[in-house]
Amino acid sequence: MHTTESAAARYADIETWSTAQLVAGMIDSQREGLDAVAAAAPALARAVDAIADRLGSSGRLIYLGAGTSGRIGAQDGAELPPTFNWPYERAIALMAGGPGALLKAVENAEDSLTAAAESLDALGVNRADAVIGIAASGNTPYVTAGLEHARRKGALTVGIINNPGGTVGKAAEIEVLLATGAEFLAGSTRMKAGTAQKVALNVISTGVMIRLGYVYRGLMVEMRPTNAKLRERSVRMVMELTGADDAAVRATLEQASGVIKLATVMLLLKLDRAGAQAALDRAGGNLRKALA
């Protein structure tokens, strides 16, 4: 079986290929990454449900990785607050070598057996948390040790790996194997292994947010309208959800301080801001429940 470290015979002479062949070959390789994610769908579904059940009202989603895998995890976590209004303090990325390693490689950091545990202890990792460890090789010591420590502390642990049989998968309660095999450029896991990891994390985090009620009718109703583009998007969203005209929606959003859910409840239930907020509070912030 080919692994991410294998040198595939079909790519042995890529330096002699035409540019058109190179581009086509790399695109085909990326498609294989997506196929690997599709094959892992049952494990991804288990991860979504388990994480959503675990997080509740205070749990944190903690990403753990090194190198490319760590950077992909950090990117996924960074998108949750603006997209879903998920609290920044509840989406945490721990990177081998520290935050500076996100931009510049830190040699040997991934080999530490203590750094991840120390960082998790500094956070006070506990049973309310879910920790996702990401490692293309499946054997990154930093990730394995971190997952083992998190599991001892009672946190839910998920291991995302690209090679079967590694220590990361064994350390996690839920193993997600993305069997991407040999890379177009041997050992360069920033390619299809990284693509598969990115898609898998998109699936997990978005699925969790949907299960937790952060999405309504396929719309990002928790989105923070922090710039002109997003403010216009919020207007379109509330118009779609309520059927109100542009002027009414803009006026209501202004009264609601730009909060999409609040404006929607105000318009559909014909409530003032205080009444709409009370309705949302009774529903635990879930728009579907508030409107029901």
Q: What are the residue numbers of the active site?
A: 79, 110
CA-wise closest residue to 87 among 64, 60, 65: 60
Q: Quote the CA–CA distance of 9 and 30 in Å, as a whole number.
A: 17
CA-wise closest residue to 60 among 117, 150, 126, 119: 126
Within 10 angstroms of residue 255's Cβ, the number of other Cβ atoms is 15
Residue 194, token pair as written in the block: 């990284």
Within 10 angstroms of residue 90's Cβ, the number of other Cβ atoms is 18
CA-wise closest residue to 81 among 93, 73, 89: 89
3-state secondary structure at position 285: coil
Residue 46, token pair as written in the block: 């288990």
DSSP E strands: which ranges in the chain?
Answer: 61-65, 91-95, 130-135, 156-161, 174-177
Q: In degrees rounded to 5, what are phi and psi of residue 39?
A: -70, -20
DSSP E strands: which ranges in 15-110?
Answer: 61-65, 91-95
Within 10 angstroms of residue 120's Cβ, the number of other Cβ atoms is 25
Q: In degrees rounded to 5, what are phi and psi of residue 94?
A: -110, 125
CA-wise closest residue to 197 among 2, 4, 1, 21: 4
